[in-house]
Amino acid sequence: MRTFVILGIIFIFFLWYLSFSATRLDRLHHRVETSWANLDGLLQRRAAIALEIARSEIADPASAMLLTAAAYQAREATIENRSAAESGLSGALGLLLADGQSTKRPAEILLLRELSELTEKIRIAISLHVDAVSRTQLVRKKFIFRTFRLAGTAPLPVTYEFESDVL
């Protein structure tokens, strides 16, 4: 009788541990989703600012056309093409800013300052997203999570190439 009680306690503890682990993994997946949503919003804002810069007098007509095309590509890219589109926008913005055209207009200065501030926010958001993805992947590789399929049908989170080359 005492053996059954001990086995029962061990079984209950094991079930609690599985429940705790599944909840932990769920929180990690939620963290990945929220970090991606934040990053996506910032990237969409960057594309909008790039369009504003293309319409301003900062860019010459050729640069403006290149920047406009890259911004629209980044805004409308599917998840499969997102990496290439964001890299293209980063390259277009990098080319424009590398020209070093100085401007004296307050509106243009504000646009460039907003782009600079947004770029820093994007860098932070990327590091948070990459950290969330790597922690989730690390936890999902553990034996207990694979054996008992604690991730359910959730896809394995991934990082994208553009996360390494944003301005």
- The residues spanned by each domain of the chain are 41-156
With cut-offs at 50, 70 and 90, classify the pLDDT of residue 167.
very low
The count of other CB atoms within 10 Å of the CB of residue 77 is 19
Are 74 and 89 a contacting pair, CB within 8 Å?
Answer: yes
**pLDDT tens digits, 11-69:** 999 999 999 999 999 999 999 999 999 999 999 999 999 999 999 888 889 889 999 99
